[in-house]
């Protein structure tokens, strides 16, 4: 039997590519195939959104794209290198749905951590600028448990944005925000893309789709290109 022809439009200068990603998870009734052959390209400077109903596999896909998890079959390429482990944060930075802030570090320290680990300069100024842009500049000395979940989410976005990565993955970046802070978050994501980062966002919020260059949807384990 021949392989199905992919209707996926390839992008020559993509910095993030997925080919044929499959992933099944254990289930009492037998393995549950969540991703069934995801093909995806994102170019530098593009902001692309991925929608899909709850449980469609958006977070599972993002975990593969950033090397947190491994596909059963298929490949992920970031900055020209096929992933075998999580890439450097400067290549691919992530705002995970579960945030992953260190409880023992302040918001400022959390956001600065990737820059400190790679010995970069101007760390405090760069972090302060992004925290301020996200409306949480006054909370830099607080610990994650001392602020709201939406404020934690913005700190986790700051940690990703401040790294000026080649690829930024944001999983439901507006899910826990009050209405008033959504524009600041969208402003940072758009600014990061305009500066040359390939930004991929999982979301079901129309406001986020509106700032996208391309809108994709995950349907039955594949990206549905028929509507694009
Ligand atoms: N690590 C895992 N182990 C078992 N099942 C998982 C795991 N991760 C995701 N799943 C299952 O995969 C499906 C997709 O989950 P998820 O990627 O979180 O969806 P979405 O982010 O689109 O809401 C769900 O049925 C979920 O229960
Ligand atoms: Mg999810």
Number of domains in the chain: 1
What's the rounded Cα separation, in Å, for the pair 213 and 25? 32
Buried b vs exposed e over 7-33: b needs ≥16 C-beta within 10 Å? Answer: ebeebeebbbbbbbbbbeeeeeeeeeb
Q: What's residue 7's pLDDT?
A: 67
The ligand placed nearest to the CA atom of residue 171 is: 2
Asked whether residue 192 is assigned to any structural domain, the reply reads yes
Please state, in angstroms and rounded to a whole number, the distance separating the CA atoms of residues 129 and 201. Answer: 22
Asked whether 156 and 110 are in contact (CB, 8 A), the reply is yes
- CATH code: domain of residue 100: 3.40.50.300
Spatial separation of the C-alpha atoms in residues 84 and 140, rounded to whole Å: 35
Nearest atom in ligand 1 to the alpha carbon of residue 62 is: 17
Q: Ligand 1: which of 25, 70, 170 to mutate, judged by most atoms within 8 Å of the beta carbon?
A: 25
Residue 174 lies in a domain: yes
> Which residue range(s) make up the domain with 107?
16-223
Per-residue pLDDT of the chain (228 residues; tens, 9 = 90+): 444 445 677 888 999 999 999 999 999 999 999 999 999 999 999 999 999 999 999 999 999 999 999 999 999 999 999 999 899 999 999 999 999 999 999 999 999 999 998 888 889 999 999 999 999 999 999 999 999 999 999 999 999 999 999 999 999 999 988 888 999 999 999 999 999 999 999 999 999 999 999 999 999 999 998 766
Report pLDDT for 10: 85
**Is the CB of 57 within 6 Å of ligand 1?**
yes
Is there a domain that residue 141 lies in? yes
Chain centre to alpha carbon of residue 16? 11
149, two tokens:
């979940």
Least distant ligand from the CA of 218: 1
- Does 66 fall in a domain? yes
79 within domain boundaries? yes
Is the distance from CB of 185 to CB of 134 less than 8 angstroms?
yes
Whether residue 197 contacts residue 164, with contact meaning beta carbons closer than 8 Å, is answered with yes
**In the prediction, which pLDDT does 56 show?**
96
Strands (E), 129-181: 167-171
Residue 92, SS3 per DSSP = strand
Q: Is residue 112 part of a domain?
A: yes
**Residue to mutate, 53, 54, 55, 200, ligand 1, most ligand atoms under 8 Å from C-beta:** 55
Residue 195 lies in a domain: yes
pLDDT score at 228: 62
Identify which of 57, 58, 95, 218 to mutate to test ligand 1's pocket (most ligand atoms within 8 A of the CB). Answer: 57
Residue 118 included in any domain = yes
């Amino acid at each position: 039997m021949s392989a199905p022809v992919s209707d996926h439009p390839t992008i020559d200068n993509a910095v993030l590519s997925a080919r044929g990603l499959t992933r099944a998870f254990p289930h009492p009734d037998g393995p549950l195939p969540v991703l069934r052959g995801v093909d995806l390209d994102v170019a530098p400077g593009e902001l692309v959104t991925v929608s899909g109903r709850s449980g469609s596999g958006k977070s599972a896909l993002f975990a593969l794209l950033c090397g947190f998890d491994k596909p059963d079959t298929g490949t992920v390429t970031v900055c020209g290198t096929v992933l075998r482990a999580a890439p450097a944060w400067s290549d691919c930075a992530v705002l995970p749905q579960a945030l992953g802030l260190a409880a023992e570090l302040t918001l400022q320290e959390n956001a600065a951590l990737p820059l400190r680990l790679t010995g970069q300069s101007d760390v405090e100024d760069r972090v302060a600028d992004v925290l301020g842009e996200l409306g949480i500049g006054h909370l830099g000395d607080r610990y994650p448990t001392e602020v709201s979940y939406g404020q934690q989410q913005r700190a986790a976005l700051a940690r990703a944005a401040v790294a000026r990565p080649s690829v930024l993955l944001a999983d439901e970046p507006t899910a826990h925000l009050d209405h008033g802070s959504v524009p600041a978050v969208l402003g940072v994501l758009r600014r990061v893309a305009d500066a040359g980062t390939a930004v991929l966002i999982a979301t079901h919020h129309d406001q986020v789709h509106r700032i996208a260059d391309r809108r994709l949807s995950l349907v039955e384990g594949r990206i549905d290109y028929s509507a694009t």
